[in-house]
Amino acid sequence: MRYLMFVLVVILGLTTNLFGQEKGGISGRVVDKINQQPVIGAVIEVIGAGLKAGSDDNGFYYLETVPAGRYSLRFTAIGYQMYVIDNVVVNSGVITDVRAELDIVAVDEIVVEDERFSKPDDISSSFKNLSSQEIRTAPGGFEDVGRVVQTLPGVAYVNDGRNDLIVRGGAPSENLFLVDNAYVPNINHFGSQGATGGPVSIIDLGFVREVNFITGGFSAKYGDKLSSVLEIKQREGSRIKFMTDLNLSATGFGAVLEGPIGSSKRGSWLVSARRSYLDFIFNAAGFGFVPEYYSLQGKGVYDLNKSNYLTLNFISNLDNVKFNNTDEKKKQDNSVIIGSDQSGYVFGAEWKSLLSGKAYSLFNLTRTFTNYNYTGTDVNGNVYFKNKSKEGETSLKGEYYLQAFTTGQFSAGAEGKLVNFKNEIKKDIDTLYYVNPLTNGRYVLDAVNLNDDEYTYKASAFAQWTQFFLNRFKVNVGLRYDYFDYINKKGYLSPRASAQVTLLHDFYLNMSYGIFYQTPSYVWLVSNAVNRNLEDIRADHYVAGLEYIIMPDLKASVEVYYKKYDKYPVSTTRPYFILSNSGGSFDTQNDFGLEPLVSAGTGNSRGVEFYVQKTLSNNYYFNINLSLFNAKYKSLDGIERSSDFDNKVLFTAFGGYQLKNNWTVAGKFRYAGGRPYTPINPADGTQLVSEYNSARLPDYYSLDIRVEKKWNFAKWTLNTYIDIQDITGRKNVTAYKWNKFTRTIETQNSIGVLPTIGINAMF
């Protein structure tokens, strides 16, 4: 009875505020895009609402009473290009943070002119941007950064249950994650060791301001990855007042709290905590495999003075898997699953200093740590695989940015990183189902028993120049050096170049070329003494494309690319296997690369991508993209085979419409060609190397629907939605597996129709 009375009191307290004018606010900062100086006296206008504000001496602005709704903001300032940000949502009782970075007028004919579509000056091609609202409202996206990025051009995926990014035929290990300029090894819970994927993101969407995604030809600033850069820029907490966001989504429930630091409002803080509820559902449904996870995230910013700013970030996760071996069938199913318990954290501290009206510097101290605990147990409870690994990195990075003159920009930086990886791994000898064509017997992988504690270091440096000239050209040239002390060949030099040419007004030719290197994963290096002879993996990028701003809110592009791989680690024990085909999931103990390896693998990926983007204005938005590609690799036996992730065709179309009374409807259709797989002999489960990746799974397609409704009250907002994944009920085939207990080939399918609900209470 006491609990019921408490709930009634809370409801009555909230309903006293149901009536009244529904208003929120917009605040933020306006800065120069190049030198990060505050833009003083900028005019911020809420288009269609007749509301304006100006930025103060620190670039801050505050629109205090804005009617609840969805708006576009226009930023104008003398000497700067007008800039528009669409899809700014104002909720009752909540202050929306919107930061704007303005381009100077002197170069507006050389970069993408439109006020809605801009990109970093050091990037010419293969760039996509997503706002937090676009991620939040994406159908089937579960408010998850990684899952929504999978819908962009050139990005393949393993299955509906994972967030792996497989970019332009690359491997899941080839992606660089940066959160507020700090390196994060993996942004996913239950992350794959040595790769970058997992089933669900750790990053709370309530922290995200925008996401920049670069899929090729990225500048010398970014290193040690081969395929993509996912740069997550987080917002600041409110400097105006304390706010709360209680939320329930498809992946868990939690809260985001934020507020100002001190009465002078020179800083702010932001903190969130989340817990999954999948374990409740899985236990209730009687599943034998039960995952649960927790995450904690925090951010603090403080203005030391008008020229120096401090930012602190903390991200942590705790992931556990439990097995309910209550009957023989569950014991058999769980015996082929590698259990994964993990914990980890990332701490980042950044000091930004405005050195002059033309230059600024960044110093970033980052500490990352991941504790892996993998276990494989047979039906009798005997442990046949154990992997306790700890990977930690402490890095210090400094960067310098200079507007050398009106049409020239220079940047440079250096980083030193102390690395520790401790591995306690025990793996029994294992006979594979793949048949050795030389002996007609099955391949055998030796047992592994190691206990190492290694310290080493990495270092890198880069320099970059951006030049605008003749009102038609932008050219970027850069050079990067990477050093890794643990391997025998330690240093690598990477030249990068890109260009953008204005062919006609709002019509651009983009090109880029670069050499990219990536160090072998730590777990590969420690598994065998000979693996220290591995070299950095190399990829050469060639990219060219056309981009056309059809209307201020509508853009179309076409881009072709060619990626050439060299020095990929391959197995000497099973000469058909290349590590580019690993990392999508760790189903067995043989996916970790725990065997003798040599840098003898080669490959290539080529493709063309078509992309049309309409931002949310006039109550609707849409994105359409089509990717056609071909990815092949050669392992130690010299035979060219299709990559495990070679879908050939990827097509995604999604969009939404804002109805009256705060209703929104959206949908997404996704199609992918079938991934390669190796046929299984139905008599004994064996697979022939001569047939490796010679067959293809059925094509994949799904249709997702999302309906959202928002209620704005006087001092708070309630947002609800229902999201139905794969509404057609199609259970796409994700793999074929041999069941050694029933001695049959089993078809693994996606879950089919998956309805989820979301609730947000913001005040």
- Whether the pLDDT of residue 115 is over 80: the answer is no
Q: Quick one: pLDDT at residue 331?
A: 83
Share of the chain above pLDDT 90, in %: 76
Examine residue 118 and state whether it is found in any structural domain, yes or no: no
Looking at the fold, whether 556 and 681 belong to one and the same domain comes out as yes
Q: Of 107, 141, 171, at which residue does a domain stop?
A: 107
Examine residue 119 and state whether it is found in any structural domain, yes or no: no
Examine residue 117 and state whether it is found in any structural domain, yes or no: no
Looking at the fold, whether 189 and 102 belong to one and the same domain comes out as no
Average pLDDT on 134-145 reads 91
Q: Are 195 and 521 in contact (CB under 8 A)?
A: yes
Looking at the fold, whether 64 and 142 belong to one and the same domain comes out as no
User: What predicted TM-score, i.e. pTM, was given to this entire model?
Assistant: 0.93
Q: Are 333 and 288 in contact (CB under 8 A)?
A: yes
Average pLDDT on 640-647 reads 96
- 159 Cβ partners below 8 Å, 6+ apart? 732, 734, 735, 750
Average pLDDT on 420-442 reads 94
Average pLDDT on 439-455 reads 94
Looking at the fold, whether 82 and 151 belong to one and the same domain comes out as no
Average pLDDT on 177-201 reads 92
Looking at the fold, whether 310 and 276 belong to one and the same domain comes out as yes
Residue 703: Cβ within 10 Å count: 18
Examine residue 116 and state whether it is found in any structural domain, yes or no: no
Degrees, nearest 5: CA angle 84-89-91:
145
Separation between Cα atoms, residue 520 and residue 193, nearest integer Å: 12
Q: Of 107, 136, 156, at which residue does a domain stop?
A: 107
- 363 Cβ partners below 8 Å, 6+ apart? 350, 351, 353, 396, 397, 398, 399
Q: What is the pLDDT of residues 78-93, one digit of tens each?
A: 989 899 998 899 999 9
- 461 Cβ partners below 8 Å, 6+ apart? 412, 413, 414, 415, 480, 481
Q: Which residue from 563, 701, 699, 558 is spatially nearest to 630, judged by alpha carbons?
A: 563
Residue 369: burial class (beta carbons within 10 Å; 0-12, 13-18, 19+) = middle
Residue 730 sits in a domain of what CATH number? Answer: 2.40.170.20
Average pLDDT on 430-458 reads 94
Q: What is the pLDDT of residues 23-59, one digit of tens each?
A: 899 999 999 988 999 999 999 999 988 899 999 999 9
The strand ranges marked E within 215-307 are 228-234, 243-248, 253-261, 267-275, 289-303
Examine residue 115 and state whether it is found in any structural domain, yes or no: no
Q: What is the pLDDT of residues 196-248, one digit of tens each?
A: 888 899 999 999 999 999 999 999 999 999 999 999 999 999 999 999 999 98
Examine residue 756 and state whether it is found in any structural domain, yes or no: yes
Looking at the fold, whether 527 and 606 belong to one and the same domain comes out as yes
Looking at the fold, whether 463 and 410 belong to one and the same domain comes out as yes
> Could you tell me the pLDDT band of residue 138, with boundaries at 50, 70 and 90?
very high
Q: What is the pLDDT of residues 554-578, one digit of tens each?
A: 999 999 999 999 999 999 999 999 9
Q: Which residue from 376, 391, 272, 381 is spatially nearest to 342, judged by alpha carbons?
A: 391
Q: Are 539 and 516 in contact (CB under 8 A)?
A: yes
Examine residue 706 and state whether it is found in any structural domain, yes or no: yes
Beta bridge partners of 417: 395, 458
Helix %, strand %, coil % of the chain (to 5): 10, 55, 35
Residue 97 sits in a domain of what CATH number? Answer: 2.60.40.1120
The strand ranges marked E within 47-92 are 51-54, 60-67, 69-76, 83-90
Separation between Cα atoms, residue 371 and residue 68, nearest integer Å: 45
Q: Which residue from 251, 357, 268 is spatially nearest to 307, judged by alpha carbons?
A: 357
Domain that holds residue 78: 2-107
Q: What is the pLDDT of residues 714-749, one digit of tens each?
A: 889 999 999 999 999 999 999 999 999 999 999 999
Amino acid at residue number 93: G
Q: Quick one: pLDDT at residue 7?
A: 34
DSSP string, 438-454: TTSSEEEEPPEEEEEEE
Looking at the fold, whether 70 and 183 belong to one and the same domain comes out as no
CA torsion 295-181-140-157 (nearest 10°) is -100
Looking at the fold, whether 407 and 477 belong to one and the same domain comes out as yes
Looking at the fold, whether 630 and 591 belong to one and the same domain comes out as yes
Query: Based on the structure, what is the number of domains in the chain?
Result: 2
Examine residue 112 and state whether it is found in any structural domain, yes or no: no
Q: Quick one: pLDDT at residue 251?
A: 76
Looking at the fold, whether 51 and 135 belong to one and the same domain comes out as no
Looking at the fold, whether 443 and 521 belong to one and the same domain comes out as yes
Q: Of 107, 136, 152, at which residue does a domain stop?
A: 107
